[in-house]
Amino acid sequence: METFYATLAQICFALVGLWWVVVQFKYEPMMSSASGRLAAYIASMHFIAPGVISLISVLVSVDAAIWRLGSFLGSALGIVAALAALRAALLTRAQRLIEVILLVSFAVIAVLSFVTTPLFGVKPIMIEALVNVGVITLGVHFAWLFFAGDLAKRASS
């Protein structure tokens, strides 16, 4: 698990870096409105939250309490970002669906941080790992929809 989480943390923070490069290249169209800035920030949080969870999870061999705390804090960050996105009126229907799924996923991760026994024979940290893979996948999809959809709309108007 330690190798998995170390790799996942690297992937998450690499995606954050790549996203920030995209934002930098498309700074004017993305940053010209409050809604664009919020969507760019939320896309970043879709990589940062699982990155934080993964980075702290590397310490699981040291102390399970650290994993639980990191898992809970990272999921709280993800929940706040998903709720902020859902409150914003700028999202497409597909992005709203992604945010609802992400909200549920982060809630599952938060609950798993309190589970001490295996569920269906699977350790909570393994379930969390699988959910985090889904979170990252949806985060990439959200970022792509924002980049391609929002920018394409602005370019045509």
Q: Judge residue 81's burial from the number of C-beta atoms within 10 Å of its C-beta, 0-12 exposed, 13-18 middle, 19 or more buried.
A: buried
Alpha carbon distance 55, 70 (integer Å): 8
pLDDT tens-digit map of 14-66:
999 999 998 888 788 778 877 778 888 888 999 999 998 888 888 766 567 88
Whether pLDDT at 152 is above 90 = no
Taking the domains of the chain in order of start, what are their residue ranges?
2-156
Lowest-confidence region among 67-71, 112-116, 149-153? 149-153
Q: What is the pLDDT of residue 79?
A: 95
In this predicted model, what pLDDT tens digit does every residue of 70-124 receive, in sequence order? Answer: 889 999 999 999 998 888 767 778 888 999 999 999 999 999 988 888 888 888 8
What's the alpha-carbon Rg for the chain, to the nearest Å?
A: 16
Question: How many angstroms from the chain centroid is the CA of residue 114?
Answer: 20
pLDDT tier at 131, thresholds 50, 70, 90 = very high
Phi-psi region of 129 (alpha: psi -120 to 50; beta: other; left: phi over 0): alpha
Say which DSSP state 117 is in: S
